[in-house]
Amino acid sequence: MTYSEKLRHWLEAELIDEQTKQELRSLKDEKDIEDRFYRDLEFGTGGLRGIIGAGSNRMNIYTVGKVTQGFADFLNKNFTSPSIAIAYDSRNMSEEFAKAAALNLCANNIKVYLFESLRPTPMLSFAVRHLKCSAGIVITASHNPKQYNGYKVYGEDGGQVTDNKAKEILSNINEIQDFSDIKNITEEEAINRKLLCYIGEDVDKEYINRVKDLSIRKDLINEKAEELNIIYTPIHGSGNIPVRRVLKEQGYKNVFVIKEQEMPDGNFPTAPYPNPEEPEVFKIALKEAEKIKADIIFGTDPDCDRIGVVVKDSKGEYKVLTGNQTGMLLTHYILSSLEEMNKMPQNGTIIKTIVTTDSVRNIAKDFNIEVLDVLTGFKYIGEKIKEFEETKEKSYIFGFEESFGYLAGTFVRDKDAVIAASLICEMTLYYKSLGKSLNEALVDIYERYGYFKEELLSFELKGKEGQEKISKCIEYLRHSMKPSINGVNIIKKLDYKTSIEKDLINIEEKIIELPKSNVLKFVLEDNSWFVVRPSGTEPKMKIYLAVRGISLKDSENKISMFKNSVMELIEEAFNY
């Protein structure tokens, strides 16, 4: 069916409401019409994510309904009496999509536990396991701009569904041919039939207690928590209540919340791109920092699974730590604290993604701890936690990815900014008790383990043409790339789509023991590397760069030169 035929189908369908049809009739731009209908909004391994609006390639109650009906069919095929937990964040239409999905599932005789108001994504992950559900859904588009929303699917282990299960769910979704196939029920009937239950304080309290139990230095917190000055911004998201509750119950009394960004607001009026990776979201917080003499500043994204940290550097200037830097600090703090207190587990393991800093290997080696690499996406870290739980061969200690996602403990199976906020405050308090700032602690880590430097480049390419351009670029790099970059030879090429790692010096190949993914990694003879991958959640191609220097200045110079060389290569690939 062409995009024009799809548009006509939507306009003629009796079950499409008049408001949606009016939106479609008002469209004048042919490119916009094509983008809305040239495909169905893609259900990937994480679920859906797209721009809110009318059309098959948009987030609306009809695309949500189709996916939910397919998911309901999957659950009824695989479970005798399936149940599901649902959460949603502060984004526009999140509550509406969550309730629509809940009622559709109830209409399919599936018991639904729906949070009574917005909650962070990690609390959904916790609820799935705590309530012994068959699955979970959270309505969020994470850190995307305000026009986006999304639909993330979780398995019974509390982790996002990974590749094989996602394919099975997608097969069921593809069987839904018409809007009339989407079942529905009223809220009143769902409650009367005891198919719809609302989640409240009981689950919240258990989750908060589990977060507090992860503290390593409880005595330090009990004695000195009042000495720490904290600035926190929820960036108009779902973290406001749980983050503040955890810190309050731990005894942190000087927690200053940025009022302008405190309340949930899907339009994100002070942060059009509500991403704690972006320094702009901390502008208001930094104005308060000097007055309050903050020891630590941090912010969480709308669904509170990512956290960004701001510290004062040696020049007295505030800077946003990279996701890798925060991960290095947390890794070292957790491992050194566990060792000091004789709490290090046997066969302890750190898990990171293939695009995350290699400095963690040096840190972990110092404590005789193994580091495992997984594909980009926290679902693969969650998958490893489940594997460890089943085989008992390894013990999970900590996992993180460079995109500001961290997890300690195993009662949640996704990145968790509530847990991270608690540990970051504990870590900052510990270093303060030693007379050190977090920045000084970071410098110590660099001095001891090496000056690793990483950077991320993003190329935004919207619409059908953009997706085609990304595909062509990656294929060029896969098959036609030169053997060196700026005179430095490429010694390894890892193709995660074919699962082959090529040693270009010894002319050898070996199998990559990870799921297949359209990702390429190139390692150079000076140990620098870069990774190319299409984003799974945005119309972007991402390039991850990494170098190692003998000093901070040396590593900064190296990453600058390397970035320029890789940029030239990518431009060449785009123009091929």
Active-site residue, 94 included: no
C-alpha Rg value of the chain to the nearest Å: 24
Catalytic residue among 83, 134, 142, 215: 142
What would the two tokens of residue 85 be? Answer: 């937990």
Nearest-CA neighbor of 84 among 115, 122, 112?
A: 112
Q: Please count the helices (runs of H) and the strands (runs of E) in the chain.
A: 19, 23
Instruction: Outline where DSSP puts E strands in 332-450.
Output: 348-353, 370-374, 395-401, 405-408
DSSP 452-495: EEEEEEEEE--HHHHHHHHHHHHHHHHHS--SEETTEEEEEEEE
Nearest-CA neighbor of 355 among 384, 328, 375?
A: 375
Question: Mapping DSSP to helix (H, G, I), strand (E, B) and coil, where does residue 359 land?
Answer: helix
What would the two tokens of residue 466 be? Answer: 């953009």
The b-or-e profile of 481-495 (16+ CB within 10 A means b, else e) is: beeebeeeebbebbb
As a whole number of angstroms, the distance between CA 328 and CA 424 comes to 12
Nearest-CA neighbor of 296 among 229, 219, 211?
A: 229
As a whole number of angstroms, the distance between CA 187 and CA 195 comes to 10
- Partners of 406 in the β-ladder: 400
Nearest-CA neighbor of 461 among 534, 532, 539, 533?
A: 539
Q: Quick one: the chain helix, strand, coil %, rounded to 5?
A: 45, 20, 35
Farthest CA pair distance, the chain: 71
- Catalytic residues, by residue number, are 142
